[in-house]
Amino acid sequence: MKTIKDSVHDYIEVEDVARDLLDTAPVQRLRHVKQLGTVTLVYPSANHTRFEHSLGVYHLASRALSQLGIEGQQAERVRAAALLHDVGHGPYSHNIEELIHRHTGKYHDEVGDLLGSGAVARVLTEHGLNPDRVAALVAGEGELGQLVSGELDVDRMDYLARDAHHTGVPYGTIDHGRLVRELRFVDGDLVLAEGNVQTAESLLLARALMNPVVYSHHVARIAKGMLRRGTERLLAETDVTPERLRRMDDKDLLVALRSNDATAGYGERLSYRDLFKRAVWAEMDAVPEDLIAADHDEIRRLEDDIAAKADVDPEHVVLDVPDEPEMKETSSRVIVGGEVRRLEDQSTLVQALQAAQRDQWRLGVYAPADVQNRVGDAAVRVLGLDVAETLVSDVRPGIHATLDEFQ
Amino acid sequence: MKTIKDSVHDYIEVEDVARDLLDTAPVQRLRHVKQLGTVTLVYPSANHTRFEHSLGVYHLASRALSQLGIEGQQAERVRAAALLHDVGHGPYSHNIEELIHRHTGKYHDEVGDLLGSGAVARVLTEHGLNPDRVAALVAGEGELGQLVSGELDVDRMDYLARDAHHTGVPYGTIDHGRLVRELRFVDGDLVLAEGNVQTAESLLLARALMNPVVYSHHVARIAKGMLRRGTERLLAETDVTPERLRRMDDKDLLVALRSNDATAGYGERLSYRDLFKRAVWAEMDAVPEDLIAADHDEIRRLEDDIAAKADVDPEHVVLDVPDEPEMKETSSRVIVGGEVRRLEDQSTLVQALQAAQRDQWRLGVYAPADVQNRVGDAAVRVLGLDVAETLVSDVRPGIHATLDEFQ
Amino acid sequence: MKTIKDSVHDYIEVEDVARDLLDTAPVQRLRHVKQLGTVTLVYPSANHTRFEHSLGVYHLASRALSQLGIEGQQAERVRAAALLHDVGHGPYSHNIEELIHRHTGKYHDEVGDLLGSGAVARVLTEHGLNPDRVAALVAGEGELGQLVSGELDVDRMDYLARDAHHTGVPYGTIDHGRLVRELRFVDGDLVLAEGNVQTAESLLLARALMNPVVYSHHVARIAKGMLRRGTERLLAETDVTPERLRRMDDKDLLVALRSNDATAGYGERLSYRDLFKRAVWAEMDAVPEDLIAADHDEIRRLEDDIAAKADVDPEHVVLDVPDEPEMKETSSRVIVGGEVRRLEDQSTLVQALQAAQRDQWRLGVYAPADVQNRVGDAAVRVLGLDVAETLVSDVRPGIHATLDEFQ
Amino acid sequence: MKTIKDSVHDYIEVEDVARDLLDTAPVQRLRHVKQLGTVTLVYPSANHTRFEHSLGVYHLASRALSQLGIEGQQAERVRAAALLHDVGHGPYSHNIEELIHRHTGKYHDEVGDLLGSGAVARVLTEHGLNPDRVAALVAGEGELGQLVSGELDVDRMDYLARDAHHTGVPYGTIDHGRLVRELRFVDGDLVLAEGNVQTAESLLLARALMNPVVYSHHVARIAKGMLRRGTERLLAETDVTPERLRRMDDKDLLVALRSNDATAGYGERLSYRDLFKRAVWAEMDAVPEDLIAADHDEIRRLEDDIAAKADVDPEHVVLDVPDEPEMKETSSRVIVGGEVRRLEDQSTLVQALQAAQRDQWRLGVYAPADVQNRVGDAAVRVLGLDVAETLVSDVRPGIHATLDEFQ
């Protein structure tokens, strides 16, 4: 048994298969992938990595399994899946996950190939575990897959607590002790025991509060937009392949961006936080419906159109259209009066949260500070935005909130 | 200047009038009044007092005043009011506030008499402050009164953080640093600056989550019901006057209960946590409308009727009908797009919270364990409850959540 | 199983005999005995009680037992002893322990009579546990007694962490997770495993740093001195017996002091923090050797002599001569290079700590502010102090440290 | 004013020159230099950087200056120096500082060239500050230089608190609020005010406890030894110049190691934590005196001799001989009885600490696991170690402490 000191869970005991997995390169690689990608440009303390998060998820999975009375090889498989659940992440985690998926067809939780070969496969097999079954758990399949990836999975319990600890933003402070303790299996569904509607709500509220302040902070989004544009060019104009990109870590990608002429500008700007500014920041009601559904190629075309109309370098316009908001956790299940109910059917609050998510949605157009206003005007016209609900350029006097510029 | 170490705000600097007020008996008395009354019977670590809370409120008021650029005697008055804002609390704080009000006509924030005489008046006058004007601030009057008692007052910023620290329940973890920093005065209204809808929501959510888990936990409510019944008897059958009761502290009241034959049973039971159990626990829909509006005399009559029908000692039935829920904070104001708006008009989430509060409302009937079932049956009939929405007696197998019995 | 939320250990699971013991009056009584007595007059947040501490000690004992592989009735007995280890404390814990011992012959860990009768005996016997054997464990007897009361007992692990949390003073922040995890039994001795010299040192250093700042803060000592004098009078001039005193809790004693004419002054002063001041504060080198060894009667005589010479009311002079310092933990055992060694033989640091304790020792004479200087002068002469090493009266300009007066 | 959220100090306000300095590349570069270098291989959560630490030092410097009543350009200069104090660090901070010094003649606090040109010089000059005078403050010169680099500097106050927060090891928990508040200037010396011997001791103890557990943990030392060897080869066998090395960040160096055939092995091993093991671990008494004083060339020769005797690849032997321990803080100054005294003259404890540091000193020889024993035997003979005080190879049964292998 190894014992590892963790800033969130204090001591984490690593046993058996997990101990051997820990020494494999795919797991150690996660030391070099930051948990929150570009969010560190907003919250300087947020340098925690997928490695320590994976240990935390492993730790909570162990406790949940023991609480649920699940033992033996079945438990061993879940613990392995918990430790391995993020090995599929490319550099900068979710920041370029869509991009990697577009080029490789794989999301971060599709890890069959990564677990099925090399050191990880060897360790799993030595411990009598089938790599495919572990990969299925990572994808959230089967009854026990819910523990690893589902509405009440230990993944979000760890990341909320950990992100709060490292950003300093208190909203993610959840009672993970209680959450783990109250898990039950009822007819194959993972649920929270009687008396825990509130416990389930608190998990959802934590994420809802962390969302705009941390995960979708506009500065993190600007940097993410620039990173995506730079990475697209890297694939287009150098010999970096999508598969190689997928297996890079944060530093590999940043060094690659900086080493190639075509992308060095992005690399420099991201390294030294010399970021574009918001030229447009628009609420959902201001945005034509088909724009929200636009695909990658269409977005690229629109960026070029805006650049042309504003008469700026096409590399200097980033259009950022987030997906429609959804909160998976709203369908988490709780026992109420002896029956399993979905949280969204039970909780007035959760219904409201779904609406609130739409209120917080914003479309962004980003550009260097010196062309910000020109790009803003062009973007409003090209995209057909309703100016009444749109913030054009963030430098208008009086609009600026205290924390806004830096954070 | 005195510097006082505090478990929540680290160092609190106490200057000028506050320093002298600190040495008066009415302020020192707050050392003996617990912040959360009977909640300590649920959360054993929650022994914090109105004294340290008052220091915390003073501290946050000082910071808010300096942030708002308010100085001189005006600021001095607010700081005094912050330190004194709770001297009007009777023993066990809010637990018997209604009872004291019924007998004396005074709520805890009506402190004109307490500030207008004795040592406090002397200190205020020496520092050139008018006791009546300080008392008005305590009551939330005037523009600056909003800082002491209003939707965005520093009182709730302190108690949420402090109650979280001492109970161990994380839901009250708010970002009071940001809240204080973002306060503004606009046309005489205390508001939060642009970009803080979320900050305002987080304050409200913290209280909404703390409510059922801490402030209205059923065990705390049972103990509170017993305390009220015992205290009524104390007034009725001993020479303790309402005015003397109002100025007692926690220990005075507990010792008084134990020293009088008529109330010794309550005193013993409260001292050693030998509490009644829930005979009935009913949702709002199960309860006839006029019962929710019933006054004290009517409640007493119903308790006697239930006792008679159940054939138990009338002292062994406590009927606990909370007021309809309301959350003052929903009308707190934030600046959005340059205009002052009420949070409830701006936030989908807050509208939902108000509905959610009703979902959590419960009527309770409490009795000793050995007559719990008899009292439950009688109560359902006497009160005309809809049994489909009512939990009768909490010992039915399968109903019990893990944390329920003790906490 | 009950689960109790604790501000230090998060969730504490209470099972079997402990669960039943929890409901007995002797354990519940600890809710009304503050952990640190008069220290709350220095650190207003330090209102934690022996009750929550006892739960914490129980929790750490459970974890230590499971780590050591000790199970069954043997473990059950230790857990019971852990929960009961402080039931022998009188009001204000250690503050008047010497006084109670002088009158009853019993220290707080001599609990044979308290465990051997009443509800506690009943519960223990029902669970097949012999009350005498549990009492022996509380007294630290036998191999397993070391866990409850010894150099490496879980008692100090809990109180250091808890006192730090509630005072806000960080020095007590120890790594109790590691301490518990590293406990071993070697030849009947409780020791720390290989590689833990530092871990043992940290425990000792934590206490050494907390001592002058918290446990022996001069304001807490002044209040303690006044409490002892008041309590002596209570025994001398009222019908309160030593045995009744021993079973009082904090509020009982404070109310008793306030209700009797002979002691009301002390009661008022302690309630409202209207304390004596230091008239003399002398280092060990300034104090004649036989004075350090003086017994209670001699101290009383000296107080009278000082009062006579200063021409003040004898009740207005308190002479406070602490015992010579000793740190039990210095003899805790650690494994070094495969052998069990005593910490003081192994650690240069620990040897120094013992000397440092002497540096911090102070004799105090306390008196009301208005006679402070007269009493100081008289005391120096009556006690034969070396004025070169003595601080006479704490109001001399330039002597006062920032935090000194209040804290 | 910018406000930045920090995990340790909550909100940090950045004004004036600091705000502009923040946007320069030399400061932003610190985002890519970890605070603790290879310590993250022991404590996975310890990924904090010199960037956030620099913000923290700036924050504490601001508070210290305001506490000391220092204003205007003088204060502005100190704040700039605080923010810039670490820009001279090479990759992996202190890990290869000696190496860089050997090749460039510069330690990390010799920053005249870095501040005297480029964006930093421009910003300083624009704000009317002389870069040379700021560089002098970074080097600890002059009265105010003591605040930035001295026995009581705010640098160590920040790093102790920050390292504790991110490693999870509680020993660094110091009371920086009090330390900053108690700073005074007396006759040009920075000292702690009366009554703070203990406060000064606590700072020293914190570092003494963090030292072996964090800063000098053997796994961090092994990785550091490998990093140094790899970096030496990088300089010897590639076109990387010492000056370029000095301005690399962590990722630049790691990628450089991996991209060159001569150093790829080190790069891989460090990336995936595939580290050498201890072949020898010897106390000071076991080591010949002249070996402790050996210079770099001599160490290299000995490594080759050991490799030859053990018949292994010379790249597979790392000899690690730390400097003799010293603790600068022991000469920090405190006011005692109105006079300024050096802590080491005043505190028995501190004298002991110096001795204790020697007890903890260890010489290490590291090698791959498969040749660990052979190398151990050879090293003992080549180095002339006293085997009685030497641990040869860490895999001997029974020697291993629980936390040892991983941490």
Instruction: Please answer yes or no on whether C209 and D195 come within 8 Å at the CB atom.
Output: no
**For a pLDDT cut of 70, what percent of chain A falls above it?**
95
Share of chain C above pLDDT 70, in %: 95
In a domain, A201, yes or no: no
On whether any CB of chain D is under 8 Å from the CB of B244, the answer is no
Look at residue D358 and tell me whether its pLDDT is greater than 60: yes
Last residue in a domain, options B165, B186, B216: B216
End-to-end CA distance of chain B: 42
Which of D168, D203, D229 delimits the end of a domain? D168
At B389 the pLDDT is 66
State yes or no: pLDDT of D319 exceeds 70. Answer: yes
Which two tokens mark A384?
């057909």
Shared domain check, A163 and A41:
yes
pLDDT surpasses 80 at C404: no
Is the CB of residue C279 less than 8 Å from the CB of residue C376? yes
What confidence score (pLDDT) does residue A404 get?
37
Tell me: the pLDDT tens digits for D235-244? 999 999 999 9
Reported as half-sphere exposure (CB side, CA atoms, 13 A), residue B325 has a value of 22
Q: In sequence order, what DSSP letters do the residues of A315-379 get, joined into one string?
A: GG-EEE-PPPP--GGGG-EEEETTEEEEHHHH-HHHHHHHHHHHHH-EEEEEE-GGGHHHHHHHH
Query: C178 to chain A: which residues are within 8 Å by CB?
Result: 11
Cα separations in angstroms, D209 against D39, D205, D213, D219: 15, 6, 7, 17
C323 class by beta-carbon count within 10 Å (0-12 exposed, 13-18 middle, 19+ buried) = exposed
Confidence of residue C407 (pLDDT cuts 50, 70, 90): very low
pLDDT digits (tens, 9 = 90+) for B219-258: 999 999 999 999 999 999 999 999 999 999 999 999 999 9
Residue B187: CB atoms within 10 A of its CB come to 7
Cβ pair C329, C201 in contact under 8 A: no
Query: How sure is the predictor about D347, in pLDDT bands with cuts at 50, 70 and 90?
Result: confident
**Average pLDDT for C58-75:** 96
Residue D155 resides in a domain = yes
pLDDT at D393: 57
- On whether both A63 and A106 belong to a single domain, the answer is yes
Per-residue pLDDT at A406 exceeds 50 = no
Look at residue B276 and tell me whether its pLDDT is greater than 70: yes
Q: Are residues A105 and A11 in the same domain?
A: yes
Best residue in B205, B283, B339 for a mutation probing chain A (most A CBs within 10 Å): B205
Contact: A14, D251; criterion CB under 8 Å? no
Q: Is B2 on the interface with D (CB under 8 A)?
A: no
Chain A interface includes D213 (CB < 8 A): no
Does residue B399 carry a pLDDT above 60? no
Q: What is the pLDDT of residue C398?
A: 31
Q: What pLDDT band is residue A20 in, cutting at 50, 70 and 90? A: very high
Residue B182 has pLDDT above 70, yes or no: yes
**Interface-testing mutation among C42, C157, C167, C175, with chain D (most D C-beta atoms within 10 A):** C175
**Neighboring chain C residues of D173 at a CB cutoff of 8 Å:** 170-171, 173
* Least confident span in A27-36, B388-397, D172-181, D311-320: B388-397
Contact D2 A273 (CB under 8 A): no
Question: Does the residue A400 lie in any domain?
Answer: no
Distance from CA of A8 to the nearest CA of B (A): 14
Residue C152 and residue C283 in one domain: no
Give the largest Cα separation in chain D, rounded.
Answer: 65
**Closest B-chain CA to A183:** B402
Contact A273 D28 (CB under 8 A): yes
Residue contact D10–B181, C-beta within 8 A: no
Scan residues 332-351 of C and list those with Cβ closer than 8 Å to D.
Answer: 338, 347-349, 351
Pull the structure tokens for residue B88.
């009007």
Contact A4 D407 (CB under 8 A): yes
CA A126, CA A114: separation in Å to the nearest integer? 16
Task: Retrieve residue A357's tokens.
Answer: 């998510």
Give the span between the Cα atoms of A28 and A55, in whole angstroms.
11
Q: Report CA-CA distances (Å) from D193 to A4, A58, D174, D342.
A: 40, 48, 17, 13
For residue C1, the model assigns a pLDDT of 75
Residue A74 lies in a domain: yes
Asked if residue A384 belongs to a domain, the reply is: yes
Question: Same domain for D163 and D292?
Answer: no
Q: Which pLDDT does position D398 carry in this prediction?
A: 31
Same domain, A12 and A64: yes
Hey, are the CB atoms on A399 and B348 less than 8 Å from each other? no
pLDDT band at A226 (very low <50, low <70, confident <90, very high): very high
Report ipTM (2 d.p.). 0.91
Residue of D166, D251, D273 lying closest to A254 (CB–CB): D251
**Domain count across chain B:** 2
Can you give the pLDDT at residue B100?
97
Indicate the residue of D171, D175, D401 with minimum beta-carbon distance to C193: D401
pLDDT exceeds cutoff 60 at B403: no
DSSP B301-356: HHHHHHHHHHTS-GGG-EEE-PPPP--GGGG-EEEETTEEEEHHHH-HHHHHHHHH
Residues of chain B contacting residue A195, judged by C-beta atoms under 8 Å apart? 401-404
- Mean pLDDT confidence for C286-298: 94
Q: Do B168 and C407 touch (CB under 8 A)?
A: no
Give yes or no for a contact between C402 and C382, defined as CB atoms under 8 angstroms apart.
no
If asked whether residues B194 and B254 sit together in one domain, one would say no
Instruction: Tell me, letter by letter, the H, E, C secondary structure of D272-290.
Output: CCCCCEEEEEEEHHHCCHH
Distance CA A78, CA A149 (A): 11
Q: Does the structure show a pLDDT above 70 at B343?
A: yes
Residue C21 lies in a domain: yes
- The Cα of C199 is separated from the nearest Cα of chain D by a number of Å equal to 9
Contacts of B198 in chain A (CB under 8 A): 209, 212-213
What is the rounded distance in angstroms from the CA atom of residue D295 to the CA atom of residue D289? 13
DSSP of A179-206, one letter per residue? HHHTEEEETTEEEE-TT-HHHHHHHHHH
The edge-to-edge listing of strands for the beta sheet with D318-320 is D318-320, D362-367, D277-283, D390-392
**Range C42-65 average pLDDT:** 97
Give the H or E element holding residue D148.
helix D142-148
A186 close to B (CB below 8 A): no
CB–CB of C175 and D175 under 8 A?
no
Residue A134 shares a structural domain with residue A222:
no
Name the residue of chain A whose CA is nearest to C182's CA: A3
Chain B positions touching A351 (Cβ under 8 A) are 352
Do residues A172 and A226 share a domain?
no
Q: Read off the CATH number of the domain in which C28 is found.
A: 1.10.3210.10
Residue of C nearest to A179 (CA): C11
Are A402 and D3 in contact (CB < 8 Å)?
A: yes
Residue the block writes with tokens 């604790």: C6
What integer pLDDT is reported at residue C369 of this predicted model?
Answer: 93
Contacts of B239 (CB under 8 A, 6+ apart): none
The sheet with strand D183-186 has its strands ordered as D183-186, D189-192, D333-336, D339-342
User: Residues of B numbered 270-299 whose beta carbons fall under 8 angstroms of chain D's beta carbons: which are they?
Assistant: none
Average pLDDT for chain C: 91
pLDDT attached to residue D401: 30
- By residue range, what is the domain housing residue C280? 276-324+361-407
Query: Residue C393's pLDDT is what?
Result: 56
pLDDT tens column, A58-108: 999 999 999 999 999 999 999 999 999 999 999 999 999 999 999 999 999
Interface mutation target, options D42, D194, D340, D400, chain C, most CBs of C under 10 Å: D194
Of A187-191, C266-270, D334-338, least confident by mean pLDDT is D334-338
Q: B78-82, B313-317, C327-331: which range is least confident on average?
A: C327-331
Across the range A120-148, mean pLDDT stands at: 97
- Within an 8 Å CB–CB cutoff, is residue C28 touching chain B? yes
Instruction: Indicate whether B406 pLDDT > 70.
Output: no
Question: How many residues in chain D?
Answer: 407
Least confident stretch, B8-17, B129-138, C196-205, D361-370: C196-205
Q: Which strands, in side-by-side order, build the sheet including A189-192?
A: A183-186, A189-192, A333-336, A339-342
Widest pairwise Cα distance in chain C: 65
Question: Which stretches does DSSP call E strand in B202-300?
Answer: 277-283
Query: Å from C48 to nearest chain B CA?
Result: 6
Residue C89 lies in a domain: yes
> Is any Cβ of chain B less than 8 angstroms from the Cβ of A402?
yes
> Which of A182, A361, A402, A404 to mutate: most B Cβ within 10 Å?
A402
Residue contact D45–A52, C-beta within 8 A: yes
Nearest to A177 among C11, C177, C178 (CB): C11
Least confident of A124-138, A197-211, B292-306, C119-133: A197-211
- CA-nearest residue to B175 within chain D is D10
pLDDT of C24 reads 97
State the best of B27, B34, B45 to mutate against chain C, taking most chain C CBs within 10 Å. Answer: B45
Q: In whole numbers, what is the pLDDT of chain B averaged over residues?
A: 91
Q: Is the pLDDT of residue B81 over 90?
A: yes
Least Cα separation, residue D5 to chain B (angstroms): 10
Query: Does residue C396 surpass a pLDDT of 80?
Result: no
D170–C169: do the CB atoms touch at under 8 Å? no
3-state SS assignment for residue A390? strand
**Chain D CB within 8 Å of residue C326 CB:** no
Residue ranges of D 46-85 with Cβ closer than 8 A to chain A: 46-49, 51-52, 55
Q: Where is average pLDDT lowest: B200-209, C227-236, D175-184?
A: B200-209
Radius of gyration of chain B (CA): 22
C-alpha distance from residue D302 to each of B223, B298, D295, D296, D319 (Å):
76, 95, 11, 10, 8
Average pLDDT of chain A? 91
The CATH number assigned to the domain holding B299 equals 1.20.1250
- Residue D270 counted as domain residue: no
Among the three residues B166, B196, B216, which one is the final residue of a domain in this structure? B216
D212 or C275, greater pLDDT: C275
Cβ <8 Å between A44 and D8: no
My answer on whether A312 and A179 are in the same domain is no
| DSSP conformation class of D365 | E
Structure tokens at C404: 């000194």
Confidence band, pLDDT 50/70/90 cuts, at residue B393: low
Q: In sequence order, what are the beta bridge partners of B183? A: B192
Across the interface, do D254 and A254 touch by the CB < 8 Å criterion? no
Chain D residues with beta carbon closer than 8 angstroms to that of B178: 11
